[in-house]
Amino acid sequence: MSDSPSETKVSFFEKHEFAIRRIHSLLGIVPLGLYMVVHLTTNASLLNGVETFQRAVFMIHSPGKLLPLIEWAFIFAPLLFHAILGVWIAKTGRTNSGQYRFASNKRYSWQRWTGMIGLVYLFLHIMHLHGGFHAQWWINSINGIGFGMFSPYNAGSSLVRAMDWGWGVVWPTIYLVGMLSLVYHLANGLWTAGITWGLWISPAAQARATKVCVAFGIVLTVISLSAWAGAVIPGEEDAQAMEAIENRMYEAGVEAGMVPENEEKRAHHSATDVEAGEEAVSDTEATAMTEFVPAS
């Protein structure tokens, strides 16, 4: 018996929409949401000092050659899957926020827009700091246009210099808008995930969940702004001081066997810049000392 012409084919996404929406919401929380909290908290530790931040980055990069596999398995692959599903949901979903001014409809619209903004931001963030690929020839080729600026073994100083690239305004603005968009997307996503998984259905349960998600969003906003300030506020002189500390930590870590030796993860300019900075400091100290030495 043949299908009638009026019957339409059901796409794969429509056929499995129930499972797809749950996988999408789950990936947004674990591992992506969890990683976002850890990542922002780690970056915020720069406010506690370059030593704290550099120790954390050393630990993150301790897996060595396994790091790209870990990144793709637990960050990039889930991110791509979550983003593709999110685009499909945003494209096929409908909102009546223009007709009905209910808060839930507004949150739904903001969830879609912050997701799109966050997706663009994450692409720029990965290219800006990490270059997208770990191959050194690729990193060297894109450094000139301000991409691939982060050096893990000179974490604080390279991050500060990366944010200062482009008149010190362009990247800080992109990061501020992008981070706040992702914070909202995660906090509101927790609320919508509870609806998707049937955790809070009644109005009373949703009201309680709203309070929890708002509190979580406020805390994460403070952490994200701290991470942003730690990278934006310091200047070039601070970056030079950071770099000298990072280099000493690297050399001591390699000697103690705590940090794998890898010159490619260090700032390309670190050796000459630090030597020049140390010579400048030495010259200044020598000049100051001669002022107190009596003439013979």
* Residue extents of the structural domains in the chain: 15-278
Residue 101 pLDDT more than 70?
Answer: no
Q: How many residues appear in the chain? A: 296
Averaged pLDDT, 92-97 = 59
b/e code 180-194 from CB counts within 10 Å (16+ = b): bbbbbbbbbbbbbbb
Residue 104 pLDDT more than 90?
Answer: no
**Minimum mean pLDDT range among 7-21, 200-214, 275-289:** 275-289
The string of pLDDT tens digits covering residues 65-90 is 899 999 999 999 999 999 999 998 88
- Structure confidence at residue 133 (pLDDT): 80
- Structure confidence at residue 144 (pLDDT): 86
- Note the Cα 78 to chain centre separation in Å: 15
CATH architecture of the domain with residue range 15-278: Up-down Bundle (1.20)
- Residues 217, 107: contact at Cβ < 8 Å? no
Residue 231 pLDDT more than 80?
Answer: yes
**Average pLDDT, rounded, for the chain:** 86
